[in-house]
Structure 1
Amino acid sequence: MVLALGGAAAAALALRGGGGGETDLVSSTWVDMRSGVGGKAIEELLARHTEAVKKKDLNAWMADVDQSDAAFVKRQKQLFENLAKMPFADISFDRTRLPARQLAKFLPTQLFDRYHAAVHVEAVTIRHRVEGVDSKTVATPWMPVVAWTNGKWLVVGDAAGKDMPLGANGQPWDSTGPVAVLRNDRIIAVVSADDAQRGRNLLQMAETSLKEVIEVRPSGWDGKVLFTAVQDKRIFDTYFAESQERVAQVAAIAVPFYNQVGDWAGSPAYSSTRVVFNPTQLTAQTEELAHDLTHEFAHAAMGPVTTARTPRWVVEGFAEYVAYRKDKVPAAGIRQALGNLVISTLPTDDQFYAEPRNYIASWLANRMIAEKYGQAKLIAFYEAFQNVSEVESAAREVLGIGVSTLEQQWRDYVAQQRG
Structure 2
Amino acid sequence: MADHRAEVEALLAARARALAAGPPALPLAEAVYRNLVLGPAGTPDRLTVTAELAVRVAGYDEYPVVHPRRLTLLRAADGWRVEREEGAGGPPPLWDLGTVTAVRGERALVLGVAGGPDPAGPAAVADRAVVAVAGLWGTGWANRLLLEVPATEAQFARLLEAEPAAWSAMAAVTTAAPGAPWHTPADRVVLNPQAYGGLSDFGRQVVITHEAVHVATRADTRAWTPLWLSEGVADWTGYRGSGRSPRQIAPELARDVSAGRLPSALPADQDFTAGAAGIAQAYEQAWLACELIARRYGPERLAALYRAVGAAGRGADREQLLDRVFRAELGLGLAEFTGLWLAEVRRLGE
TM-score range, shorter chain: 0.7 to 0.9
Matched, 1:93 2:15: no
SS in 2 for 1:370: helix
SS in 1 for 2:347: helix
| Separation in structure 2 between the aligned mates of residue 370 and residue 331 of structure 1, nearest angstrom | 14
Code of the residue aligned with 2:339 in structure 1: it is: Q
Q: Assess, with a 3 A threshold, how the Cα gap between structure 1 residues 181 and 358 changes in structure 2: closer, same or farther.
A: same
Code of the residue aligned with 1:413 in structure 2: it is: E
Equivalent residue number for residue 288 of structure 2: 364
| Separation in structure 2 between the aligned mates of residue 408 and residue 332 of structure 1, nearest angstrom | 20
Aligned-pair identity in percent equals: 21
Matched, 1:311 2:223: no
Structure 1 residue 382: Cα displacement: 1.9
Code of the residue aligned with 1:91 in structure 2: it is: E
| Separation in structure 1 between the aligned mates of residue 6 and residue 294 of structure 2, nearest angstrom | 56
Matched, 1:223 2:143: yes
Stretches of structure 1 that go unaligned for 5 or more consecutive residues are 1-31, 57-80, 105-111
Equivalent residue number for residue 212 of structure 2: 297
Q: Assess, with a 3 A threshold, how the Cα gap between structure 1 residues 407 and 45 changes in structure 2: closer, same or farther.
A: farther
SS in 2 for 1:221: coil
Equivalent residue number for residue 16 of structure 2: 50
| Separation in structure 2 between the aligned mates of residue 345 and residue 298 of structure 1, nearest angstrom | 25
Instruction: Select which of 203, 213, 216 maps to 2:123.
Output: 203
Q: Assess, with a 3 A threshold, how the Cα gap between structure 1 residues 236 and 386 changes in structure 2: closer, same or farther.
A: farther
Equivalent residue number for residue 188 of structure 2: 274
Code of the residue aligned with 1:122 in structure 2: it is: T
Q: Assess, with a 3 A threshold, how the Cα gap between structure 1 residues 402 and 288 changes in structure 2: closer, same or farther.
A: same
| Separation in structure 2 between the aligned mates of residue 397 and residue 43 of structure 1, nearest angstrom | 58
Structure 1 residue 127: Cα displacement: 3.0
Instruction: Select which of 299, 313, 319 maps to 1:388.
Output: 313
Higher relative contact order (CA 8 A, sep 6+): 1
Equivalent residue number for residue 122 of structure 1: 50
| Separation in structure 1 between the aligned mates of residue 230 and residue 43 of structure 2, nearest angstrom | 47
| Separation in structure 2 between the aligned mates of residue 255 and residue 183 of structure 1, nearest angstrom | 20
Matched, 1:156 2:83: yes
Equivalent residue number for residue 63 of structure 1: none
Structure 1 residue 288: Cα displacement: 1.8
Structure 1 residue 204: Cα displacement: 2.4
Structure 1 residue 179: Cα displacement: 3.0
| Structure 1 residues 161-214: Cα deviation after superposition (integer angstroms, max 9, x where no partner) | 7xx22xx21x333332x3321112211122345667x43333223322322222
| 8 Å Cα contact 2:262/2:346 also seen in 1 | no
| 8 Å Cα contact 2:74/2:81 also seen in 1 | yes
Instruction: Select which of 330, 341, 346 maps to 1:410.
Output: 341
Number of residues of Structure 1 aligned to a counterpart in Structure 2: 332
Stretches of structure 2 that go unaligned for 5 or more consecutive residues are none
SS in 1 for 2:217: helix
Using structure 2 for the length normalisation, give the TM-score: 0.81
| Separation in structure 1 between the aligned mates of residue 218 and residue 246 of structure 2, nearest angstrom | 32
| 8 Å Cα contact 1:128/1:139 also seen in 2 | yes
Q: Assess, with a 3 A threshold, how the Cα gap between structure 1 residues 45 and 305 changes in structure 2: closer, same or farther.
A: farther
| 8 Å Cα contact 1:144/1:155 also seen in 2 | no
Q: Which moved more, 1:270-279 or 1:389-398?
A: 389-398
SS in 1 for 2:197: coil
Q: Assess, with a 3 A threshold, how the Cα gap between structure 1 residues 97 and 47 changes in structure 2: closer, same or farther.
A: closer
Structure 1 residue 221: Cα displacement: 0.7
| Separation in structure 2 between the aligned mates of residue 342 and residue 331 of structure 1, nearest angstrom | 16
Pairing of 1:13-32 with structure 2 (within 5 A): 32=1
| Separation in structure 2 between the aligned mates of residue 377 and residue 188 of structure 1, nearest angstrom | 31
Code of the residue aligned with 2:184 in structure 1: it is: Y
Using structure 1 for the length normalisation, give the TM-score: 0.69
Structure 1 residue 128: Cα displacement: 0.8
Structure 1 residue 376: Cα displacement: 2.1
